[in-house]
Amino acid sequence: MHRTKLSMVCILALAVYFCGGKASLLHAAQALSVGSGQARVDLQFRITIPQILFLQVGQGGSTIDTIGFNLSDLPGSYRVDGDPQGIPVRAAGLVPRGQTVTLTADSATPLSNGDNVIPFSNISWRATGDFPAGGFNDRTNQKIGQWTGSGDRTGTYSFNYRNETYYPPGTYVGRVVYTLSTP
């Protein structure tokens, strides 16, 4: 009887030692076998994949690209290229199967120079790759592109300015905000 108690105390001491000094005998992914047999534990794996959206319009990084239009003639019926080489555009998403991904642009606030303004609807773009060509519509939620499911879309935008209206001289500055979203 004394020997059995001593064996049990030794087993308990070993169990506490192998369990990291904690007072319980068994934890998840731990087992103790004395004598013949086997010690077996299960280990569960979990991979969490979040929904991910990535959008790049321009060179990327922390600075905002600027597209410049240098007008050297009176307004007429012609367009002025802003960046003939184009800027990179990339929209990527990891979303649930069947979910819609939408790319929008907010061009509601016009380019301004003091009290003078030029609407963004004077600017359009040519596109390559996975994006359509188009022009801004001076609204907050203009749909630029839409697709279903995950994917990585790339291309370029080359902007041009429709120089048809007389605006007062000056430098007009404005910003378009692009948004990639899911419902």
- In terms of domains, do 83 and 163 share one? yes
What range defines the domain where residue 15 resides?
1-38
- In terms of domains, do 33 and 56 share one? no
Assign 2 a pLDDT band (cuts: 50, 70, 90).
very low
In sign, the C-alpha dihedral spanning 68, 73, 75, 80 is negative
According to DSSP, the residues that pair with 165 across neighbouring strands are: none
- In terms of domains, do 81 and 123 share one? yes
Assign 63 a pLDDT band (cuts: 50, 70, 90).
confident
Domain contains 47:
no
Question: Residue 77 has what pLDDT?
Answer: 66
Q: Please count the structural domains in the chain.
A: 2
4: helix, strand or coil: helix
Question: Residue 40 has what pLDDT?
Answer: 85
Question: Residue 61 has what pLDDT?
Answer: 82
- In terms of domains, do 33 and 116 share one? no
Domain contains 44:
no
Asked whether residue 28 carries a pLDDT value surpassing 70, the answer given is: no
Domain contains 46:
no
Q: What is the CATH number of the domain that holds 74?
A: 2.60.40
- In terms of domains, do 57 and 120 share one? yes
Question: Residue 38 has what pLDDT?
Answer: 85
Asked whether residue 16 carries a pLDDT value surpassing 50, the answer given is: no
Asked whether residue 45 carries a pLDDT value surpassing 70, the answer given is: yes
Tokens of residue 165, six digits: 């209206």
Domain contains 32:
yes
Question: Residue 85 has what pLDDT?
Answer: 79
- In terms of domains, do 67 and 15 share one? no
Percent pLDDT > 90 in the chain is: 60
